[in-house]
Chain A
Amino acid sequence: MAITVKFFASFREATGKEQETIEGAANVASLLEQLTRRFGDKLSRLLYEPGTNKLRDTVNILVNGRGINLLSGLRTELKDGDVVAIFPPVSGGAALTPEELERYNRQIIISGFEKRGQRKLKRARVLVAGLGGLGSPASAYLVAAGVGHLTILDAEQVELSNLNRQILHWSSDVGRPKAASAIEKLSKMNPNVELEGRPEAVTRENADELVESVDVVIDGMDNYHARYLLNEACVRRQVPFIHGAVEGFVGQMTTIIPGEGPCLRCIFPKEPPSAQVRPVLGPTPGVMGCLQAMEAIKLIVGIGKPLVGQMLLFDGGEMVFDFIQVRRDPNCPTCGDV
């Protein structure tokens, strides 16, 4: 007598056998050891997490029809005549819930957007850098639209003079970190979105890590030093970067897709002069932040035409939207070799 091992599905494919007979295995762990010696790496890779003896979640092992998770795991004892079955779980599932279908119905019924677009949004990861006048509306609209994962980054605390335009922060938030204040509002707005708050500034050290796992970055920052750092990281990692900036009644915006159009350094080779305090009327970043969210959603869903190679100039005082062409600089130190 011996132990009979039955393989199914991917395990049958990896071993090339429907069943195998093993002798002298005292428990499941030693049985698997003998099997991996016999069938090699292809079977090991299916069974174990890389570089460990930990079984993957995608393995079911049954002894005489009972799962080893209900017995003693890998230490489950074996005796002659036992039958061990190895097969993957049968699992899966849709990506959208009926609640989400209703919540997002008015955008799902847009021709070309549809459920497919909503699924793409749900899978997407976006970074909003800066939670001020631009980042507040941009993150609010992204959360309302159902982006799957949003990282929001800001190192500062809420000040009373922020409240005329930074609409995610309210009177009671003065003194609180902006990331915490924003997460509180955004999570109530749409609990389906995974939110990650990072109370830190953009630095040379963290820029690449910030952009490497996201699909789009939104520029809600108030200084060109940090903008250049993120622009460079986005070019290196080939991540779209949606630039926005405001002052008084005027705002500017462009979408940077590395390799397709100019990067921020092509457009502004030298850092524009900075000021401690800039005048801003709240609706100006309100308009621009909404348009940045619009660009991000379009890119993720693959609908419409992104604002690449053009800069939108908005003047709320005269109520004029203007566009100027912006071109790649072949000698750009940031994207010249992309």
Chain B
Amino acid sequence: MRLRIKREDLSAIERHSKQSFPLECCGLLVGRRTGTEFEVLEAVPAENVKRSPTLFEMDPQFVHAVLSRAESRGLTIVGFYHSHPGVGAYVSGKDAEFLKLWPGVAWLIISATRELIEERRAYVYEGDEIRELKIEVY
């Protein structure tokens, strides 16, 4: 399974992660899913309403607006992204709780400091388990 993302979209997400440090940032990945491939066509930054170094949450009305706009174009929310300020791009207990509520949706996690992207990893909850996705940048 893999997450395909354009270099410019990944760069924008990584810039967002660095600029938000020491707080977490978040956003949505609009695209399409074909079999085992999650193709990102657009990265949409969102506001982290928690404004926290260890938590993020998106405004549900914003999520709904992006979701509706994507579906009207025949696309979907193929994933979400958020940053972990310098602590590693692992699935935390809190992440796992929400990953399970969004089955089949990819979670891209970026571990970043103000200067450095330390790690980027992607996961999906599918078939009752959290699986890691290979990230393919094109």
A-B complex is real:
yes
The answer to whether B63 touches A92, judged by C-beta atoms less than 8 angstroms apart, is no
| Range for the number of chain B residues in contact with chain A | 35 or more
Which positions 82-104 of chain B face chain A at CB distance < 8 Å? 82, 84-88, 90, 92-95, 97-103
Nearest CB of chain A from residue B47's CB, rounded to whole Å = 12
Residues of chain A with a CB closer than 8 A to B45's CB: none
Question: Given the interface contacts A9-B101, A92-B95, does A87 sit within 8 Å of B54 by beta carbon?
Answer: no
In this assembly, does A8 line the interface, its C-beta being within 8 Å of a C-beta of chain B? yes
The answer to whether A60 touches B103, judged by C-beta atoms less than 8 angstroms apart, is no
Question: Given the interface contacts A89-B57, A94-B87, A101-B86, does A65 sit within 8 Å of B102 by beta carbon?
Answer: no
The answer to whether A88 touches B64, judged by C-beta atoms less than 8 angstroms apart, is no
Type the 1/0 row for A198-215, where 1 means its CB is closer than 8 Å to any CB of B. Answer: 000000000000000000
Question: Given the interface contacts A96-B54, A98-B86, does A90 sit within 8 Å of B61 by beta carbon?
Answer: no
The answer to whether B61 touches A62, judged by C-beta atoms less than 8 angstroms apart, is yes
In this assembly, does A276 line the interface, its C-beta being within 8 Å of a C-beta of chain B? no
Residues of chain B with a CB closer than 8 A to A85's CB: 64, 67
Report how far A119 CA is from B90 CA in the complex, Å. Answer: 11
Pick from B67, B98, B113: contact of A88, CB below 8 A.
B98
Report how far A10 CA is from B103 CA in the complex, Å. Answer: 6
Type the 1/0 row for A1-27, where 1 means its CB is closer than 8 Å to any CB of B. Answer: 000000011100100000000000000
Question: Given the interface contacts A9-B101, A92-B99, A93-B24, does A60 sit within 8 Å of B60 by beta carbon?
Answer: yes
In this assembly, does A97 line the interface, its C-beta being within 8 Å of a C-beta of chain B? yes
Residues of chain A with a CB closer than 8 A to B53's CB: 94, 97-99
In this assembly, does A261 line the interface, its C-beta being within 8 Å of a C-beta of chain B? no
Residues of chain A with a CB closer than 8 A to B97's CB: 92
Report how far A57 CA is from B84 CA in the complex, Å. Answer: 23
Pick from B57, B61, B100: contact of A10, CB below 8 A.
B100
Report how far A9 CA is from B56 CA in the complex, Å. Answer: 19
In this assembly, does A95 line the interface, its C-beta being within 8 Å of a C-beta of chain B? yes
Nearest CB of chain B from residue A56's CB, rounded to whole Å = 10
| Range for the number of chain A residues in contact with chain B | 20 to 34
The answer to whether A66 touches B61, judged by C-beta atoms less than 8 angstroms apart, is yes
Type the 1/0 row for B70-92, where 1 means its CB is closer than 8 Å to any CB of A. Answer: 00000000001010111110101
Residues of chain A with a CB closer than 8 A to B80's CB: 90
In this assembly, does B6 line the interface, its C-beta being within 8 Å of a C-beta of chain A? no
In this assembly, does A123 line the interface, its C-beta being within 8 Å of a C-beta of chain B? yes
Pick from B46, B68, B88, B95: contact of A65, CB below 8 A.
B68
- Measured CB to CB, the nearest residue on chain A to B62 is A90
Report how far A14 CA is from B55 CA in the complex, Å. Answer: 27
Residues of chain B with a CB closer than 8 A to A99's CB: 53
In this assembly, does A91 line the interface, its C-beta being within 8 Å of a C-beta of chain B? yes
Residues of chain B with a CB closer than 8 A to A90's CB: 26, 28, 46, 57-58, 60, 63, 80, 98, 102
Report how far A237 CA is from B39 CA in the complex, Å. Answer: 48
The answer to whether B105 touches A9, judged by C-beta atoms less than 8 angstroms apart, is yes
- Measured CB to CB, the nearest residue on chain B to A95 is B92
Question: Given the interface contacts A9-B103, A92-B98, A93-B82, does A67 sit within 8 Å of B60 by beta carbon?
Answer: yes
The answer to whether B55 touches A96, judged by C-beta atoms less than 8 angstroms apart, is no
Residues of chain B with a CB closer than 8 A to A89's CB: 57-58, 60, 98, 101
Type the 1/0 row for A136-178, where 1 means its CB is closer than 8 Å to any CB of B. Answer: 0000000000000000000000000000000000000000000
Which positions 57-101 of chain A face chain B at CB distance < 8 Å? 58, 60, 62, 65-67, 85, 87-99, 101
**Further 7 A-B residue pairs, CB within 8 A, beyond A9-B102, A90-B98:** A58-B98, A60-B63, A62-B61, A66-B61, A87-B67, A91-B56, A92-B99
List, sorted by A's number, 14 A–B pairs whose CB atoms are closer than 8 Å: A10-B101, A65-B64, A87-B67, A88-B101, A89-B60, A89-B98, A89-B101, A90-B98, A91-B98, A92-B95, A92-B98, A92-B107, A93-B56, A98-B22
Chain A positions near chain B (C-beta within 8 angstroms) = 8-10, 13, 58, 60, 62, 65-67, 85, 87-99, 101, 115-116, 119, 123
